Structure 1
Amino acid sequence: MLRRLDLTTADDPDLRRVLPRAAVDVHAAVAAVAPIVEGVAARGYAAAREATLRFDGVDVAEPRVEAAALKEALEALPDDVRAALVESIRRARIVHEAQRRSGNDVQVVPGGTVSERWVPVGRVGLYVPGGLAVYPSSVVMNVVPAQVAGVGSIAVFSPAQQEFGGLPHPTILAACALLGVDEVYAVGGAQAIALAAYGDLALGIEPVDVITGPGNLYVAAAKRLVRGVVGIDAEAGPTEIAILADDTADPVHVAADLISQAEHDTLAASVLVTTSVELADAVDVEVARLVELTKHVERVRTALSGPQSGTVVVRDLEQGLAVVDAYAAEHLEVITTDARAWAERVRNAGCVFVGAHSPVSLGDYCAGSNHVLPTGCTARHASGLSVQSFLKGIHLVEYSAEALAEVAPHVLALSAAEDLPAHGAAVAARLR
């Protein structure tokens, strides 16, 4: 089922070109969602309501979820799911609390200081998908770092579900209630991103400063269109797992992990990078066996047989490391001898899962790490969602008259070199 690429005899190929990758055309999706975004910018929720009826098949007159519905969803939440969410929240808070940044004061020269303050953004819109699956875990991953950062106003947007009378899935609502989020809107897709960015003051929907959270291709396209109006975390694409493994890896574990990501979406990417042909063969056998036992057989089979998935056979772990760095996976598992040592050398990955007992599924729910991660090779330059995603660094510059006088000749020289004499004059005026 998995295509195989043998790089054992390759002479330094252009890895970015030869490795499996999903073909995702965000540009085409931008053209499709631009009228929706423009409509919401011009007409507010009325345009979002039309899009929800068109795409989700439900007419939602009032998008804000009432407090009673949140309370009811929490009360109806099964005990085991509630306990799991509580534990997920607890672990996420532990990790994200450690990401807090304190300010600093730097004395550059006597009388001249530059201080740095970290200030939370005022309001955020957190998107929680609701398509092929239900993601209360994404509520946790978005809300916890925003709360830890000190964001004062949090709005969650999640698709209206015809099955639930135009409300988001009740498990999503319950997760919001557990986290104390009471501003939730039954709006999904591109129209949700636009509504978060532009708001509708007539309905009391304030525009946000930052939008975060995963979504489908059209959500990513909408984020691209509103970027600049608001900040965004990333244009999330289909999910990815890469596994760097040697002959010590258990083929059942590897196959199960490849399948676990493939069940997200038919475009999900599952890539094994291994030094062992024997392991690759054994994984093929286990994948064929386990796929038949999984719930979403056709979805998984399509993802694993697509051009975005496959097995890459490498000469050694050094070449394997080069391959996974070039691939820059959203999720990377390292299942090798001395796994920690190899994992610490990885430069490009959204999150690295070390050893046989740290599967990606753990990170999706209860590791304490964040599962909103960069996709589509953007881990070469981007990071996963964190407390930092909701903070702004502001410098405070404070100089005395004496300190300004000392540096003034340098400011005057540079302003003259840049032919900006008024810049120099603004300093010179203070020296008289």
Structure 2
Amino acid sequence: MKGFTTQMLNRDAFTIPKLAYESYFKIFGLISSGLDFGQRYGPVKQDKTSTNLKRFYCQFVCLLLWFFAIRSFVLMFIGDREIQLMMGDLTGFWNDYRMYYLMPTFYYSLQTAIIATIFLRNESELAWLVPFISVKQMQTNSIRTAKYDTNNHERRTQITIIMNNLIVLIATGMVAMLYMLTAYENMDDSTFKMFLPWIGIQAVWIFFMTGINMFTMTYFNLVCLILSNRFKQVCKDIEALAESDPGPLGSKNNALSTLYYEHNEICELVDESNSFWQSFIFFNYLCHIPCNCYALYNLFFAEFDDLLAIVTWTVFLHTILFLAFISLSAADVSAEAHSPYTAKIHIDCLQMSTFLHRVRGPTIGFSCLDLFVITNASISNTIAAVASYFLIVADFSRSTAAANAAEKREEAAKAAMNLTTTVAPPVTQ
């Protein structure tokens, strides 16, 4: 494990927390060992069969997701119905323009495949476990670890996990039922029986895709919530220190230094956590923003039937909520990290000046692949940029559609005139 040695795992000085998300990450193939990483190390050579099987399971899930991502992309260019059915595609029975379904499917499958790959490649570095476990600070005492204990958020975590499970089960069941009914109504008995394995495989794919999408989103929100709460507590402690009895000159220096080191420690945790989550944020933006724009475009210009309306609205609302969830969670960390600078604090000493200088420095928080830090301002700028480009494309598409409609009307009028001229009776003298 990178940056890890057996001496770092001191059970007397470090307490491994219970993390409810760990079991679900293992179910959905994101991690193989999780918080059991310490059991793999020791003087006695251990049997690695179980570890290898878990790792193989994660690799299988990742390959399955990549298979469907590539399949969704290839299906966009296949118009032959027989080949579509051979590849398990039933969208041709739902709408003549299959792209309405294939495009969102491609974005979702690509997003989950990339997320699974990120976890698979970086699991051993444990950055995804920050702030619950920090490799950089693993030798510190358990007092620090207690500050990031998930027990304070246990009820909230249980509610989100229950909701995630319901969403996963409902989505998997509804999509599987839709595939089943579509195949049953449009195929003969022998073809339907041969197609059943495809339905089962796609139900499994939907299960993994929905689970990875939902559980990573809510887990990232939990990470951001804990870090932002710690920043908020530091700011409250500084404000309380500023409002307390002034006392002798320099009497607050030690307390302020302690808070400064605490703030700096949390900044280091954010930086360590960001080394993992920056890729997660970037690729979610890369997949969900175009998917949301595509769904929004269809809401304006597509001709809907009932099924297409349900799918399009679901995709649009989910991508909006997903992007808002991870963006606002990350932005809250940055806002709380810089809150001491915006707070009304009046402590005139060198430590306070140094502290405020640190807060005024480079923006603290989660970044989008180190391109920019997620803040409220960057979210506003991103929304404005996406909205501007979308309106330009929408206006261009509407103008093009109007021009095409006018051209078709003109051609129809010419055809009608030619037909009238051709069938007109001869004029008699």
Fold shared by both chains (TM-score > 0.5):
no
Q: Give the TM-score normalised by the residue count of structure 1.
A: 0.22
Say which structure, 1 or 2, has more relative contact order (CA 8 Å, 6+ apart).
1
Relative to total residues, which structure has the larger strand share, 1 or 2? 1
Relative to total residues, which structure has the larger helix share, 1 or 2? 2
